[in-house]
Amino acid sequence: MRKFILSLLGLGLIVASYFASQYIISSNQRERPKPKKVIKTVFVEEVENGTVPIEIAAQGNLVAQKRLELYTEVQGILKTGSKLFKPGQEFRKGQTLLSLDAAEFFASVQSQKSALYNQLTAIMPDLRLDYPEAFDKWQAYLSNFDVDKAIAPLPAFDSEREGYFITGNNIQSAYFNIKNLEQRLGKYRVSAPFNGILTEALVTEGTLVRAGQKLGEFIDASKYELEVAIPKTYADLLKVGNEVKLAAADQNKEYTGKVTRVNGNIDQASQTINAYIEVKGEGLREGVFLEAVLKAKEEYEAISIPRGLLQPNDQLFTLRDSILEVIDVKPVYFSEKQVVVKGIPNGTRIVSKPVPGAYAGMLVKVYQAKDSSQEQAE
């Protein structure tokens, strides 16, 4: 009997423990809060197609349109001129850029002229006897002969026999030899072919200059040109004479240039074509970095949007009755930040700012300024 009572008590204790545990478990259960449905706010704008100018941005460094690398074909000591041969020195057209000491070579030219004078003097008696009709003109030539001046052209031959006589006495060969020496003598002086400035000087006064040695660089500082590379797609659209807006990146200055040349070859590596823009103005220097905006053409019935709005497969988010949809568009030009697209009907509301996690069929609401002000007031 005692065992039976103990068994009943044990069974009752187990049952009581089970119900107590179930009560404790049920009392500790918490209901998980239901997540609030968040509706994202989007910015939209209504499409109005129009004419969008296609502008190609490019950049490069200015170089002088006229540049002269100075070399010498003769050898000599660089003489001191009226102006120093130093970088930054300005010269007018025709002024002497540099001159070499040509005293020795000048003396040899004078010697050859004197030898020709003696040859002419020696043939004058024979001319008087054999060619009296030609004597007077050769006598006049001899009378006006000056070894200190450039040699004058020989008189023209009146007859074939006269020509044989003059040639046979080596008068012509001596004359042309002197003309050749005079041409070489002129190379001891280099004059400025245009108004400009010396940008590089590799020799100084008193330096021995050797034939073929580079002496410096001379540029025209009034006109510069900018070489820019543009995509080959617009090679046929660029025309010589088109105006170009130019801006210096480190200055608040703008310039207007024009396309003067377009290269006929396409760079195979970059698939670009080079265009050359002429520009002039105050403050320009060789090497200045400029940004150019070239007007290539105009796209009709198109709009320009930020590149971040264009989705993969050339699609764009639109809004219809608070639901996002995607439509296919046709991109026609990509710039660094913008893309020009066509194929969007007028009046379509497109998403004007990127929406993270957006998808077709997503429920959204349109941003309104008054809603924002109410939220700030609350």
Per-residue pLDDT of the chain (378 residues; tens, 9 = 90+): 666 676 767 777 776 776 667 666 666 656 666 666 678 888 889 989 998 888 777 888 889 989 999 998 999 999 988 888 999 999 999 999 999 999 889 999 999 999 999 999 998 898 888 888 888 999 999 889 888 888 999 998 888 888 888 888 889 999 999 999 999 998 999 999 999 999 999 998 888 999 999 999 999 988 899 888 887 777 766 778 888 888 876 667 888 888 888 888 888 888 888 888 899 888 788 888 888 877 777 888 999 999 888 888 888 989 888 888 899 999 988 877 888 999 889 988 988 888 888 888 888 888 876 554 444 444
Entry pTM: 0.63
**Domain at 67-101+188-219, CATH class:** mainly beta
Residue 322: predicted pLDDT: 86
Q: Cα(14)–Cα(106) distance, rounded to whole angstroms?
A: 135
Nearest to 171 by CA among 144, 143, 141, 140: 141
CB-side exposure of 263: number of CA atoms within 13 Å?
Answer: 15
Backbone dihedral angles phi then psi of residue 214, each to the nearest 5 degrees = -75, 135
Mapped onto helix, strand or coil, the DSSP state of residue 109 is helix
Those residues with Cβ within 8 angstroms of residue 187's Cβ, 6 or more apart along the chain or in another chain: 72, 73, 74
Backbone dihedral angles phi then psi of residue 33, each to the nearest 5 degrees = -70, 140
- Select the CATH number that applies to the domain covering 56-64+221-299 from these four: 3.40.1670.10, 2.40.30.170, 3.30.70.890, 3.40.1190.20: 2.40.30.170
Q: Cα(179)–Cα(61) distance, rounded to whole angstroms?
A: 45
Instruction: Please report the DSSP string for 306-341 in residue order.
Output: EGGGPBTTTEEEEEETTEEEEEE-EEEEE-SSEEEE
Residue 13: predicted pLDDT: 72
In terms of DSSP bridges, do strands 40-42 and 364-366 run parallel, antiparallel, or are they unpaired? parallel
11's tokens = 């069974």
Torsion sign, CA atoms 196, 199, 203, 205:
positive
Q: How many residues does the chain have?
A: 378
Is residue 31 within 8 Å of 355, Cβ to Cβ?
Answer: no
For CATH 2.40.420.20, list the domain ranges present in the chain.
Answer: 42-48+300-377
- Select the CATH number that applies to the domain covering 42-48+300-377 from these four: 2.60.40.420, 2.40.420.20, 3.30.70.260, 1.10.357.10: 2.40.420.20
Is residue 165 within 8 Å of 124, Cβ to Cβ?
Answer: no
48's tokens = 């109005």
80's tokens = 């001191």
Q: Cα(318)–Cα(44) distance, rounded to whole angstroms?
A: 8
Is residue 344 within 8 Å of 327, Cβ to Cβ?
Answer: yes
Q: Cα(137)–Cα(164) distance, rounded to whole angstroms?
A: 17
For CATH 2.40.30.170, list the domain ranges present in the chain.
Answer: 56-64+221-299
